[in-house]
Structure 1
């Protein structure tokens, strides 16, 4: 397995957040982490990325425990795009170049520049390359953040609610991009997301979190009316539309 999480536990003062989280993912797959606000989705990503230090459990990448990684080594294994990313006055090119920081010792090299150019081309951002990121639309800026993460050339790509501020067109484009990148680059993509129908459209595996624990995990078979009722407290019908599962609130 590319990514293994074993018994991960995390507490904030006076609050248990994650309780014995365990799962594994293969390369080339996209995992959607689902659940209500406060279920522990963002905290889980931060524990995997060592932004937060869990009180228990282990995270392994290709059988190596990240506890032994220095921060620069972890940055070469895991790329993370958080919810709160404020735009700056740097250009698109320079913003994506920041993703090469874990590899740059003295100065930017030819390989770094080539990777940035290839990433910009992959994301269809060529016409924005020298434009400041604070002049971009929400969808364009989200692609820049993904591009920065891709430039890290990691084995695991984690994104915390990457579609939360995007319109429908950009939501579809960004998630399709993530799915294609996971397959093309043979990496593991982990995404927290609120929209169940978007998750059903693009993810390969699903984790439903409830009160900091895994309520259900697996393929589309776990996205059932009963599970959604238990996790979200909402009555829904799971229907088939054009050979796709669709969640319809009742």
Structure 2
């Protein structure tokens, strides 16, 4: 049991009492016999440990170890990396890891948009299972499903370790600007003067599309694949 899992469970408002007790037990095995660690580990003898007791001695044990709890988003990032590592070492099934990672995005009230990678992937896995051709991962097939999830997990661990902007997944690779740009679904702005007049007099309906907010181009690659996200990371590192 690692602190990364505890940070994540706490941040996502999931039960974490047993994780704290398991962590204390591991410290004891490793030779830590501080009073607060001993008390926290002993709470595992109770059939249903009290939340407030676990929280109290967990915080005291952290003080003994001079460990500071990370902030909200750092806690979630640490938990995401922990899940990826668990999957890659075989301690957690790939599909189970994908489901746990997908739970994070809605649990953050959709504030940590990098985790939308997993809600989108699960949607596509559902469509694939039901033989619906309309999904965003064209290279995903039933035969390579496990390998594809593993590839996504390996890349996601790297992605979490980098300092990417909060709106990373809402950006795209503009082929005209040749860089990573902000984009938006809006009325098409690259239209002729005649089309503008027709729209003003409501003789023609406006066309909506995803445009680059820098140049107005619609020639944008969304960050749906590992390859596109790796290219975006290279741009951010320049």
Task: Please report the TM-score for the alignment, with normalisation by the length of structure 1.
Answer: 0.26
Q: Which structure features the higher share of helix residues?
A: 2
Higher strand share: 1
Which of these two proteins has the greater Rg computed from alpha carbons? 2
| Structure with bigger RCO (C-alpha 8 Å, 6+ apart) | 1
Q: TM-score, normalised by structure 2?
A: 0.27
